[in-house]
Structure 1
């Protein structure tokens, strides 16, 4: 079913608005280029003088042109070796901002009783801070390994395996969405999923409502709501508080 224009810069398919937020119980967000304005891995790479190389891989992965997302992330993280925790702190304090409408949408969902989930192919250094800033209930993302000893405080160029697995890719985002729904005792159709890249499609496909925000073409085409102009809070035009 093709997307149809609902309002300038906002298209819908597969449902008739308005819906109500209270009909949903969970909202899941991607982080990089969705809740926040940057791709953190690209900005970290800038400190190593490798932003252009890393950003090209990120762009291809988000467009869905790289079949193995995990390998693409390992390649990018390997190029971060030697970047310091202080460099990442500067990315957070000087470059990272919440995208327009992010805080308003999260607060509206919370006020309507929805639980909130942040699932990211990015890193806990940033997701933990966004979680705390917005009061998000659940998160899943990747852990960057940090050197000890003489190079204490520098990235090793690797990630740390976690109890749930090695890397949060599209399959893991989907699994985390379904696990969270099961833990809450709700049907996935009572979940909203918001993202912009190809690795968000697996979770968006499980949710009862999916939104693509300033997304790659493939994601925009498959989402139920596509926002091409304005902030994340434009979802509230079709899902009323």
Structure 2
């Protein structure tokens, strides 16, 4: 990547010449946790069994890119969630989960410009499906937590597309969605904050880091460090 330039305070660009046009893209893909929403869901679920600090430490290391095997790190974290009740997750959704500033505005602008929207998360369908519905997102993929008698078992359920949404699956999902829409990855925008977002960001024509880890900021075309997601509209005009 070429050197970065501060476009406006808290908004950095590199390797592109703004302004760009939303209408030149066909798809915008988002990570969920700490990107579209304000929390890391796995950490908040762990809080219900008194293990938030332990799980959050693993999450933070994974997002910084310090854990090479995301799948194994997620299995370790999910195993610690055994015994959490569905009612606990309902409370997390109702009381702790909030959309990040500008999420609704950016998605509305993208949809108005004719883009399709994708949520692809290393988190869980319990939250991802609800967030996608709230925002009117067209496509969503996330991991499924296994339940028995209204409680988490500490395992995930394999899906027809694979076992866990990791960085490679995020990239493959973005490219498969582009193929479904009849466009190339170059016509996609990818927005994320952690190391497991880097593969899909590399496959997209425009990579956007939102309040991201340093390893992600340095590889993005646009880095939003202050303000909401809708600040992307200062660079990619409706």
RMSD of aligned Cα (Å): 0.4
Partner of 1:140: 141
CA deviation profile, 1:122-155 (whole Å, cap 9, x unmatched): 00000000111111111110000001xxxx1000
Partners of 1:239 and 1:160 lie apart in 2 by 38
- 5+ residue gaps, structure 2: none
Partner of 1:207: 204
Partner of 1:190: 187
Q: CA deviation at 1:20?
A: 0.5
CA deviation profile, 1:151-193 (whole Å, cap 9, x unmatched): x100000000000000000000000000000111001100000
Instruction: Confirm or deny: 8 A CA contact 1:192 1:207 kept in the other structure.
Output: yes
* Number of residues of Structure 1 aligned to a counterpart in Structure 2: 237
Partner of 2:41: 40
Partners of 1:135 and 1:154 lie apart in 2 by 29
Map 1:91-106 onto structure 2 (within 5 A): 91-106=92-107
Scaled by the length of structure 1, the TM-score of the pair is 0.98
- 5+ residue gaps, structure 1: none
Q: CA deviation at 1:2?
A: 1.7
Partners of 1:223 and 1:174 lie apart in 2 by 15
Partners of 1:102 and 1:135 lie apart in 2 by 11
Scaled by the length of structure 2, the TM-score of the pair is 0.99
Are 1:222 and 2:223 matched, yes or no? no
Map 1:112-191 onto structure 2 (within 5 A): 112-147=113-148, 152-191=149-188
